[in-house]
């Protein structure tokens, strides 16, 4: 047994070359990582798989482990997937104004729930309600953790223990764990299925309403389209029917935009303004989808119903923290000046980026990528189509440009893996036996180029 050949923890710690690491990481972490490293060496020695390590090998191994343990889990990446609002890559990027407001709210005390004029307890919703009402035309507004939470809260507060009719064409799964039938069940309501998958008529809703009905729910099908022989009553007719039967009409818009996107040549998306004008009593939508803000679920509509949500215990459990309230307020303020919105709101800026500008960027980046690939792969500039993401219709595509990396020698999956192993991981898309890097969302050219310098595939 050569275990004695491994020096003790105390002896290694005396090596003066470790002093900077101890100063940086603290003694506790250095000792813990050193013990774990020595245990590995001992196991390898026992199994005869290795020779005793040199003092230098131990030192280098330890420094490597310390670096790895300090690497944050949540890291910056380059989103070159072509999906602008990519749920797995963090959705909307906040404008500078919102980041500064959020950081300031986290660093200092604030009037989060304090009425400065009266000198008494205030309401955290107040920082957002005025702006939301002004922008949507609603009477009242509230905000919670995310849109899934907003739907859960609205259903539980208005309809627990009773029935909610929903069209069979709207019983959708939005991705991950948001499925309409399940959220209705989780809210303690009974789903009443109405009509058919492709066609649902007002008369179907009328028949479904009975003594146990609590509200009519309409869900924007988001990332799923029913096309062809289809029918669905307009929101205005659903609102009329609901009101004639003494029920609230609730609309889950999902993404929901606060501006008409056609103005910038983008595919049309439903807006809370239009749903409210059609007679909806509550409209819910996300903060970090097309709105371009922090994760949040917004609810706008009738004052009496919003008050009901506010008083509900679930509201407390789903409430927004001060950092996001500050960031959301700053983003909503940008909407007061729609003429400058495109330059100030990153989501809108990326969605409206001209294809010719992206193609020019791709041409500039191509030589650096080709140098990284050497003669192992070819890089060319190719036309492609980006998507909005996060529940906007996947059939609406935005013309864009990509760096396409293809190779006879290296598998696309292996190239994609190398790109993900960069200091700032580069996330692309595999398509037609190549790696596609859609450059629509690449704004930091310098950081992107810098990390390819001196590296090879
Ligand atoms: C995205 C979406 C949700 C969930 O919103 P989150 O903000 O992600 O919780 C709910 N309903 C619809 C229709 C959606 O598109």
297 CA: nearest ligand 1 atom: 7
pLDDT tier for residue 268 given thresholds of 50, 70 and 90 = confident
Ligand 1 site-directed mutation target among 152, 218, 221, 254, most atoms within 8 Å of CB: 254
- Reading the block at residue 138, the tokens are 């609603």
In the prediction, which pLDDT does 3 show? Answer: 61
Q: Which domains does the chain have, with CATH numbers?
A: 3-69 (no CATH), 78-87+351-450 (3.90.1150.110), 96-344 (3.40.640.10)
pLDDT tier for residue 287 given thresholds of 50, 70 and 90 = very high
List alpha helices for 110-167, DSSP H: 126-136, 147-159
Q: What Cα–Cα distance (Å) separates residue 301 from each residue in 129, 140, 283, 415, 423?
A: 11, 6, 6, 50, 46
| 387-414 average pLDDT score | 90
Ligand 1 site-directed mutation target among 172, 174, 272, 392, most atoms within 8 Å of CB: 174
Name the burial class of residue 454, with classes exposed (0-12), middle (13-18) and buried (19+) by CB atoms within 10 angstroms of its CB: exposed
Is residue 2's pLDDT more than 70? no
pLDDT tier for residue 224 given thresholds of 50, 70 and 90 = confident
The more confident residue out of 5 and 314 is 314
The model's pTM: 0.93
| 147-165 average pLDDT score | 98
- pLDDT tens digits, 55-88: 889 999 999 999 888 889 999 999 999 999 999 9
Closest Cα to atom 2, ligand 1: which residue?
Answer: 254
* Cβ atoms 170, 180 nearer than 8 A: yes
For residue 205, report the distance from its CA to the centre of ligand 1, in Å.
Answer: 24
| 351-375 average pLDDT score | 97
The pairs formed by 435-438 with CB atoms below 8 angstroms and a separation of 24 or more are 435/404, 435/405, 435/406, 436/82, 436/382, 436/384, 436/402, 436/403, 436/404, 436/405, 437/80, 437/369, 437/402, 437/403, 437/404, 437/405, 438/80, 438/81, 438/82, 438/384, 438/386, 438/400, 438/401, 438/402
| 144-172 average pLDDT score | 97
- Reading the block at residue 227, the tokens are 């096309």
Ligand 1 site-directed mutation target among 85, 147, 184, most atoms within 8 Å of CB: 147
Name the burial class of residue 421, with classes exposed (0-12), middle (13-18) and buried (19+) by CB atoms within 10 angstroms of its CB: exposed
221 CA: nearest ligand 1 atom: 13
Alpha carbon distance 184, 166 (integer Å): 10
Alpha carbon distance 369, 449 (integer Å): 8
Question: Which region among 48-57, 118-127, 131-140, 331-340 has the lowest average model confidence (pLDDT)?
Answer: 48-57
Is residue 319's pLDDT more than 60? yes
Alpha carbon distance 404, 427 (integer Å): 13
- Reading the block at residue 289, the tokens are 């989808």
For residue 219, report the distance from its CA to the centre of ligand 1, in Å.
Answer: 10
175 CA: nearest ligand 1 atom: 1
Across the strands, what pairs with 434?
A: 431
% of the chain at pLDDT higher than 70: 98
* Cβ atoms 144, 320 nearer than 8 A: yes
| 115-132 average pLDDT score | 97
Is residue 197's pLDDT more than 70? yes
Ligand 1 site-directed mutation target among 250, 252, 255, 280, most atoms within 8 Å of CB: 252
Closest Cα to atom 3, ligand 1: which residue?
Answer: 254
| 314-331 average pLDDT score | 98
Is residue 100's pLDDT more than 70? yes
Is residue 1's pLDDT more than 60? no
| 383-394 average pLDDT score | 84
pLDDT tier for residue 393 given thresholds of 50, 70 and 90 = low
295 CA: nearest ligand 1 atom: 7
Closest Cα to atom 11, ligand 1: which residue?
Answer: 254
| 209-236 average pLDDT score | 92
Is residue 51's pLDDT more than 90? no
* Cβ atoms 150, 164 nearer than 8 A: no
Q: Tell me which residue of 146, 168, 412, 402 sits closest to 285, measured CA to CA.
A: 146
The mean predicted confidence, pLDDT, of the chain is 94
Closest Cα to atom 1, ligand 1: which residue?
Answer: 254
Q: What Cα–Cα distance (Å) separates residue 210 from each residue in 191, 207, 246, 291?
A: 13, 8, 11, 37
Is residue 292's pLDDT more than 80? yes
Enumerate residues lining ligand 1, CB below 6 A. 146-148, 151, 174, 178, 219-220, 222, 252, 254-255, 286, 297, 391
């Amino acid at each position: 047994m050569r275990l004695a050949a491994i020096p003790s923890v105390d002896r290694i710690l005396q090596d003066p070359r470790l002093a900077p690491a101890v100063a940086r990481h603290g003694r506790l972490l250095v000792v813990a990582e050193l013990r774990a490293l020595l245990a590995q060496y001992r196991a390898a020695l026992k199994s005869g798989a290795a020779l005793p390590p040199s003092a230098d090998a131990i030192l280098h191994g330890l420094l490597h482990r310390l670096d790895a343990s300090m690497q944050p889990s949540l890291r910056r990446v380059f989103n070159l997937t072509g999906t602008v609002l990519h749920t797995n890559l963090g959705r909307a990027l906040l404008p500078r104004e919102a980041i500064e407001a959020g950081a300031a709210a986290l660093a200092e005390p604030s009037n989060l729930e304090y009425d400065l004029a009266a000198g008494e307890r205030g309401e955290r919703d107040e920082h957002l309600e005025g702006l939301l009402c002004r922008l949507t035309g609603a009477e009242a507004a509230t905000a919670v953790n995310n849109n899934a939470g907003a739907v859960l809260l609205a259903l539980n507060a208005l309809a627990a223990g009773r029935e909610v009719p929903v069209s069979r064409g709207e019983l959708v799964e939005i991705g991950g764990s948001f499925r309409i039938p399940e959220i209705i069940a989780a809210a303690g309501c009974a789903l009443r299925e109405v009509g058919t998958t492709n066609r649902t008529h007002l008369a179907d809703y009328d028949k479904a309403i009975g003594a146990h009905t609590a509200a009519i729910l309409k869900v924007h099908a988001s990332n799923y389209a029913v096309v062809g022989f289809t029918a669905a009553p307009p929101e205005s007719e659903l609102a009329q029917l609901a009101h004639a039967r003494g029920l609230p009409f609730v609309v889950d818009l999902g993404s929901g935009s606060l501006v008409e996107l056609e103005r910038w040549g983008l595919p049309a998306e439903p807006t809370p303004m239009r749903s409210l004008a059609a007679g909806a009593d509550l409209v819910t939508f996300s903060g970090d989808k097309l709105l371009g803000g922090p994760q949040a679920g917004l609810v706008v509509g009738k004052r009496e119903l919003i008050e009901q949500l506010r008083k509900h215990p679930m509201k407390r459990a789903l409430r927004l923290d001060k950092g996001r309230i500050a960031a959301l307020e700053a983003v909503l303020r940008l909407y007061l000046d729609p003429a400058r919105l495109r330059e100030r709101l990153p989501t809108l800026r990326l969605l409206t980026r001209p294809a010719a500008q992206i193609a020019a960027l791709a041409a500039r980046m191509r030589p650096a990528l080709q140098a990284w690939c050497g003669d192992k792969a070819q890089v060319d500039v190719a036309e492609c189509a980006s998507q909005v993401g996060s529940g906007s219709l996947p059939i609406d595509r935005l013309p864009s440009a990509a760096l396409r990396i293809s190779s006879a020698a290296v598998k696309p999956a292996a190239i994609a893996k190398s790109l993900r192993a960069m200091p700032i991981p580069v996330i692309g898309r595999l398509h037609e036996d190549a790696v596609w890097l859609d450059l629509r969302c690449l704004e930091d050219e310098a950081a992107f180029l810098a990390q390819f310098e001196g590296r090879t595939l």
